[in-house]
């Protein structure tokens, strides 16, 4: 299903979508880095409490709204006539990557709640490795959208 009148809004939808993606990715790069630092400070310390505030605000004020906007605007782009050639395969990989990014977002959200309860089931090393996940997924997404290799 496509909605014909969306074609007139396409440049604005695309610009807003890209802005939302940039904001989402900025937060997705930063939150795991905060977890790296948070995992090294003593539980109950003033620094730990500061990290809790930073993590909560980052997730609620930037990452969650940006992800929501990214999805809504992305769906709007998909519904715009002539934007996607459904016979090509690149969009499958892009969609899978966005779903994985959203799942990782959920993982970070759950981790933030655990940090808030002073639980630390994951190591600093885990968070250092996890910090690379958004970069890898973003690379795949950008290649699929720009290069469209298949």
What does the pLDDT read at residue 4? 86
105 marked ligand binding residue: no
pTM of the full predicted structure? Answer: 0.93
pLDDT tens per residue across span 38-81 = 999 999 999 999 999 999 999 999 999 999 999 999 999 999 99
The upper half-sphere exposure of residue 8, i.e. CA atoms within 13 Å in the direction of its Cβ, equals 2
17 marked ligand binding residue: yes
């Amino acid at each position: 299903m496509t909605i014909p009148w969306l074609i007139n809004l396409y440049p604005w939808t695309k610009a807003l979508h890209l802005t939302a993606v940039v904001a989402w990715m900025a937060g997705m790069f930063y939150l795991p880095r905060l977890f790296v630092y948070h995992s090294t400070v003593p539980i109950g310390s003033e620094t730990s409490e500061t990290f809790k505030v930073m993590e909560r605000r980052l997730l609620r004020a930037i990452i969650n709204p940006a992800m929501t906007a990214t999805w809504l605007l992305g769906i709007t782009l998909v519904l715009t006539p002539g934007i996607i050639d459904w016979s090509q395969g690149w969009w499958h990989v892009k969609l899978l990557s966005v779903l994985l990014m959203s799942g990782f977002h959920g993982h970070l959200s759950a981790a933030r709640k655990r940090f808030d309860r002073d639980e630390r089931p994951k190591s600093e090393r885990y968070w250092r490795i996890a910090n690379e996940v958004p970069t890898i997924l973003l690379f795949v997404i950008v290649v699929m959208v720009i290069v469209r290799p298949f």
